[in-house]
Structure 1
């Protein structure tokens, strides 16, 4: 059954109109019931939550937009359904993301008082630690289209043309509210002191910095980098928030697995052993291992995922990380 804290959290989030927190607590309750062996009850809860989310989404429809003309080669668009409860991250990162969402939902009140909401985020950390998923979650929570900048279409051997394409993107950003993702922004914002840099590349960076500085739209801008030490220092000043995504701790690894396998019985799992084997793996690698263990359980007609299946799947991922060419 739900704990007293969960019931109070449900009431508080409902009273505040905070849908994402309400659903996050409800999903925690479903996961708790699944862990306690109440698979049927947990499934009923999840179906109720999914149905409620569907009705909520229909109540505030997201206008469908698609890049046209020259923008079609520069931007791809999707309409994510992920929510904050889908993220298993460090508590400080989650707290910062909740703050961004809160300010975005109250942006009219903030602007009326002469303040701008947080809307430019720089996410840094190793590959597979949840940066791109965060962009999808922010778009999903705010019911915005997620536009991903296609760097292969943006960056050309003619740097003047690249700067012109950047202007097209920022014009679109001002005209069509959305979440705009500059994934692996290093290609645009490498340090100007790099020894192999050339004048034209520096001009592209300067253009990018200028467009960021001048942008006053309602869109959310998200840039990610796996190599923050290679970024030009001036880039940091253009963002409202910089979030560091570390490799998952043992507790976060446990959360990742539990979230992905919420509908399985995990009551016999030795989490200390599993967390130890998961050390050094990214969120995406742990997720892939959890999915592999779940599929194996299904194929052998097993309703629970135990320590052995998880350890074997995680060990297989460790081997692929150590010897990617094999």
Structure 2
């Protein structure tokens, strides 16, 4: 048949395809005319073709991208003649290793020298830093030339920042990466700050750090049963104050504290107090989906100690193992608690509304959780303190506040706070200054049958009759 593919026709097709491909690459090279080629620039710096040297690679935690930039700048900055150049070529760069980029740049002129890519990232609640997102550092270490490719995120490495070094000396290349890792901890922008970690399951490279102002919650604003706050403070703050004495006596510093009780009783409020009373301590807050980042949070805490890792509502990932299985995050939590050295000055602070379902291995083994403290519903005296605390400067009389406290048996601190807010709202709608009657009306409204759902959401003892 005339349509049959003969060897001669196949050979002609391949020849035409090669001519077409070469023409396309030739046209690309002509369009890139004026842009310096990458390989000759790197070869001139290294003294030889960079494709002949091995590439040393270091993959780093996504959530420490800013620290990577700070560390690289410190190492490279020791050479006053250091240069930073960009690499053109678009998104293809993110899918290629440095060796592949150099190979393609030499053979097809795909990656000419171009502008450096930058990304601005937060370094604190109100500060930021311009970091290198894609750039090639050229400098020398003790007379040995080094080329280091720094990229913000690599699609080949699950979104992690990656450093790739080409150097005539393998020893120098390894030392450079070791020094960068050490400088990340020594110069970390996370040290002494309060941060939360976030991550995207669809784009790991977009995981990030959110900086939070350190809260200020005075001791007198924490309403707990007598002696409860003192026990918690001794374990969290006391160990920190006496770390030297404990180390000298051979006692461990790492500790786990579990706060449990109904929703709205003040567990998070207590955590905020402890965080505020820990200046200089690196605090990592994890809740919701961020609980899955407990491993990297622990690694960061270990590197930046003294540190505190807060796992809020840990029952979401740490329920007791059963025949139906359990969250894999539970095992990460257990590994994190076990993996720290005994002298690590790291506090694990966990909160839960459901202590009854927690994995026994988490809650009942010393060295994981050393202190478990109930944060119960406030008693009558506690509710009086809460009403006075949240009333602040509002003109409520003592008799009205006491009556409100007596009428809210079984209610939580969150319920008390909402009662004060609603009293102010009722007065505003009525067009008069807030007073005792408004507080009485607010409490009556919130404890009425129509407010059952609100009471449930804000926290009410299940023993309280409707």
Band of TM-score, shorter chain? 0.5 to 0.7
How does the TM-score come out when normalised to structure 2? 0.48
Match among 224, 227, 237 for residue 354 of structure 2: 227
- Shift in CA distance, 75/127, structure 1 to aligned 2, threshold 3 Å: farther
Q: Are 1:125 and 1:227, in contact at CA under 8 Å, matched by a contact in 2?
A: yes
**What TM-score comes out, normalization by structure 1 length?**
0.66
Residue pair 1:80, 1:139 contacting (<8 A) in 2 also:
yes
- Structure 1 distance, partners of 2:413, 2:205, is 32
Please say which of residues 218-227 and 123-132 is displaced more in the overlay. Answer: 218-227
The alpha carbon displacement at 1:305 in A equals: 4.3
Is the 1:71–1:168 contact (alpha carbons within 8 Å) kept by the matching residues of 2?
A: no
Structure scoring higher RCO (CA < 8 A, sep ≥ 6) equals 1
User: Which residue number in structure 2 is paired with residue 94 of structure 1?
Assistant: 229
Asked if the contact 1:186–1:230 (Cα under 8 Å) also holds between the matched residues in 2, the reply is yes
Q: Any gaps of 5 or more consecutive residues in structure 1? A: 1-61, 156-164
Shift of residue 65 of structure 1?
6.5
1:64 Cα deviation after fit: 4.2
Mapped partners of 1:132, 1:260: distance in 2: 16
Contact 1:73-1:153 within 8 A present in 2 as well? no
Tell me if the contact between 1:121 and 1:223 (Cα under 8 Å) persists in the aligned partners: yes
SS at structure 2 position matched to 1:323:
helix
- Matched pairs, number: 250
How far apart are 1:286 and its partner, in Å?
A: 0.7
Which residues in structure 2 correspond to 1:116-195 (within 5 Å)?
Answer: 116-117=252-253, 119-143=255-279, 144-155=281-292, 165-176=293-304, 177-193=306-322, 195=323
CA distance in 2, matches of 1:281, 1:81: 25
Q: Identify the residue that residue 26 of structure 1 maps to in structure 2.
A: none
Paired residues of 2:257 and 2:350 also in contact (CA < 8 A): yes
RMSD: 3.1
Which whole-Å CA distance do the structure 1 matches of 2:398 and 2:329 have between them? Answer: 55
Residues 231-251 of structure 1 deviation map (CA, whole Å, 9 limit, x = unaligned): 111111211111101111111
CA offset digits 1:207-254 (Å, max 9, x no partner): 321220222432322111111111111111211111101111111111
2:198 and 2:354 mapped to 1: Cα distance? 32
Q: Greater strand percent: which structure?
A: 2
Per-residue CA deviations over 1:26-85 (Å, capped at 9, x if unaligned) read xxxxxxxxxxxxxxxxxxxxxxxxxxxxxxxxxxxx944656996974765422111222
Deviation for aligned residue 1:145: 5.0
Counterpart CA distance in 2 for 1:190 and 1:183 is: 13
Q: Judging changes above 3 Å, is the alpha-carbon distance between structure 1 residues 210 and 68 closer, same or farther for their aligned structure 2 residues? A: closer
- Runs of 5+ consecutive residues of structure 2 not aligned to the other structure: 1-190, 458-466
Quote the Cα distance in structure 2 between the aligned partners of 1:259 and 1:102: 26
Q: Indicate the structure with greater helix content.
A: 1
Q: Based on CA coordinates, which of the two structures has the bigger radius of gyration?
A: 2
SS at match of 1:132: helix
Tell me: CA distance 1:317–1:80, structure 2 relative to 1, closer, same or farther (3 Å).
same
* Structure 2 CA distance for aligned equivalents of residues 90 and 264 of structure 1: 25
User: Measured at CA, do residues 321 and 301 of structure 1 come closer, stay the same or move farther in structure 2, by a change above 3 Å?
Assistant: closer
Structure 2 residue 338 is matched with structure 1 residue 209:
no
Q: Does the alignment pair 1:107 with 2:243?
A: yes
